[in-house]
Chain A
Amino acid sequence: QSVLTQPPSVSAAPGQKVTISCSGSSSNIGNNYVSWYQQLPGTAPKLLIYDNNERPSEIPDRFSGSKSGTSATLGITGLQTGDEADYYCGTWETSLSVWVFGGGTKLTVL
């Protein structure tokens, strides 16, 4: 059971928009930055979003992040079949001084 709660799966058609939620508490998301990772099939995770809403330079602006209170959201617009992957949120858990990940969300582009 992950400390951060993500939906197991989401799906949308090519070209559409999808959002993935990540729910936590005041001791993790509520008081720390959230980052998001994309894991394409058979590959290592890759950083998509850091500091809640910042993108590394190589990440297209179709990917966005936001945070409100104890929840964070990853948004992907203009969906492509190449976006099919598992997506993970993560943050620092202050009460335990550990890093925590969400359980992951599998994105299917129909």
Chain B
Amino acid sequence: QVTLRESGPALVKPTQTLTLTCTFSGFSLSTSGMSMSWIRQPPGKALEWLARIDWDDDKYYSTSLKTRLTISKDTSKNQVVLTMTNMDPVDTATYYCAHSSRVGATAYFGLWGRGTLVTVSS
């Protein structure tokens, strides 16, 4: 059974760096074809894809946010970490991690975590 769980601070101050961790079970991110993405959703708004890391450590970032994002994985801990620098109140959102058993253009998000709400406020 594949499970995903996001964790991180519920509140960050403007200009701070956000670090989110997705801890998963039921698969290994070192298995060929696996990938993990981060997706966020501001309150009342649409989903926004942020970043993806593939089993072979290929990484992809949102065009508008790539200068602020870093995605990494620790296969020994079954974790994927997202850091976002220079946080702003507009970054207030629920952040989800999502799993795909495919990479490349054929990927889709078969399983999502429950999400973690991050509020940016001084």
**Which residues of chain A have a CB within 8 Å of any CB of chain B?**
2, 31-33, 35, 37, 39, 44-47, 50-51, 56, 88, 90, 92, 94, 96-104
B10 within 8 A of A: no
Q: Is the CB of A104 within 8 A of B46?
A: yes
Task: Find chain B residues with CB under 8 A from A51 CB.
Answer: 106, 108
Task: Find chain A residues with CB under 8 A from B109 CB.
Answer: 35, 37, 45, 47, 90
B82, chain A: closest CB distance, angstroms: 14
Interface string of B14-50 (1 = CB under 8 A from A): 0000000000000000000000010100000011110
Q: Is the CB of B62 within 8 A of A35?
A: no
Task: Find chain A residues with CB under 8 A from B46 CB.
Answer: 2, 88, 101-104
Task: Find chain B residues with CB under 8 A from A39 CB.
Answer: 47
Residue pairs across A and B with CB atoms within 8 Å: the count is 64
Name A49's closest neighbour in chain B (CB-CB): B108
Q: Interface size bucket, B side?
A: 20 to 34
Q: Is the CB of A99 within 8 A of B37?
A: yes
Task: Find chain A residues with CB under 8 A from B48 CB.
Answer: 101
B111, chain A: closest CB distance, angstroms: 8
Q: A92-B107, A98-B62 are in contact. Are A46 and B112 (CB under 8 A)?
A: yes
Q: Is the CB of B47 within 8 A of A50?
A: no
Interface string of B101-122 (1 = CB under 8 A from A): 0001111111111110000000
Q: With A51-B108, A97-B60, A98-B49 given, can you name 11 additional A-B contacts, CB distance below 8 Å?
A: A2-B46, A33-B106, A44-B113, A46-B112, A50-B108, A51-B106, A56-B110, A88-B47, A101-B47, A101-B49, A102-B46
B55 within 8 A of A: no
Alpha-carbon distance A47/B99, docked complex (angstroms)? 11
Task: Find chain A residues with CB under 8 A from B37 CB.
Answer: 99
Name B107's closest neighbour in chain A (CB-CB): A92
**Could you list some 6 contacts between A and B, CB below 8 A?**
A44-B113, A45-B112, A47-B108, A92-B104, A98-B49, A98-B60
Alpha-carbon distance A38/B34, docked complex (angstroms)? 22
